[in-house]
Amino acid sequence: MQECLSASEQEYLKTVLLVQQKTGHVTIQALAARMEIKPASVSAMIRRLAQDEDAQGAYVMHTPYQGVTLTRRGEKVAMELLRHQRLLELFLATTLDMSWEQVHDEAEHLAPFISEDLEERIAARLGHPARDQHGDPIPSREGIVDLTDDMPLSALEVGMQAKVVRVPDEDPALLRYLATLGLIPGAWITVEARTPYGDILTVRMGEATHPLAGEVARGVSISAMSRRSAQASLEEQERKHEKFLT
């Protein structure tokens, strides 16, 4: 039952998962680009991960010239690594005050090497968190993550309000920019307008409004549960106020 893959193999499986989540289709090229490895090498590794040597099942399905899909077994490995990575991110950020972007690289380096016990102790110390500091969900020890409640900010209609639950953590500069806007997990955001051309969303956070590129808006997640019209939101406030008066 104990998976014993190399750091490199785990890295590949993780990337398959992330590319799948981001684009819906995993090509050799996409993996190569993301990992900064030549397609020939990726091809070879995927072939290996698609083989079922130990009769325990393969890690990926691969139809040559088509695409790559994770099997449940491969997905578990990927989730496991993501769990390590995100627990480490949060731990380094909270316990050692490392900056967001630094944390990302350090956690990525260390993730394949921490023991299950250290993982568990970090998780316990952090109170078994469900998300890291950018809102990236932390998979359970069983390799499960529930994202049914997440949707992209870009899917919000004009006039709707919702709570930000996740920002993209890949680009440090973007992360810093979003932070200056106050666009961080936990913030409430209202979509004020959407341009017909150029794919720009105007969003309100508190008093300030900001234009947001569609590309960026698609990378930010909001909680579907928190979604409501700005009108409804005002009425809610009203109700609270009344309650307060009585």
Partner DNA sequence: TTATAGTATTAGGTGAGCCTAACTTAGAGT
Partner DNA sequence: ACTCTAAGTTAGGCTCACCTAATACTATAA
Q: Which residues bind Mn ion (CB under 5 A)?
A: 80, 89, 116, 119, 132, 134, 136, 169
> Is residue 111 a contact point for DNA (CB under 7 A)?
no
- Going by C-alpha positions, the residue among 101, 102, 100, 73 that lies closest to residue 9 is 73
Of the residues 13, 78, 79, 92, which one makes contact with its own copies according to CB under 8 A: 92
> Is residue 37 a contact point for DNA (CB under 7 A)?
yes
> Is residue 126 a contact point for its own copies (CB under 8 A)?
no
Q: What are phi and psi of 149, to 5 degrees?
A: -90, 0
Ordered alpha helix ranges (H), 97-209:
100-110, 116-125, 172-181
Stretch that binds DNA, among 35-43, 69-77, 169-177, 193-201 (CB under 7 A): 35-43
At CB < 8 A and 24+ separation, what contacts does 65-70 make? 67/25, 67/26, 67/27, 68/16, 68/26, 68/27, 68/28, 68/31, 69/20, 69/26, 70/13, 70/16, 70/17, 70/20
CB nearer its own copies, residue 61 or residue 126 = 126
CB nearer its own copies, residue 25 or residue 125 = 125
Q: How would DSSP label each residue in 139-156?
A: --TTS----TTEEEGGGP
> Is residue 176 a contact point for DNA (CB under 7 A)?
no
Q: Give me the amino acid identity at 35.
A: M
CB nearer Mn ion, residue 117 or residue 207 = 117
> Is residue 151 a contact point for its own copies (CB under 8 A)?
no
State the residues that interact with DNA by CB under 7 A.
6-9, 27-29, 32, 36-41, 43-47, 62, 64-67
State the residues that interact with its own copies by CB under 8 A.
92, 95-98, 102, 105-106, 109-110, 113-115, 117-118, 121-122, 125
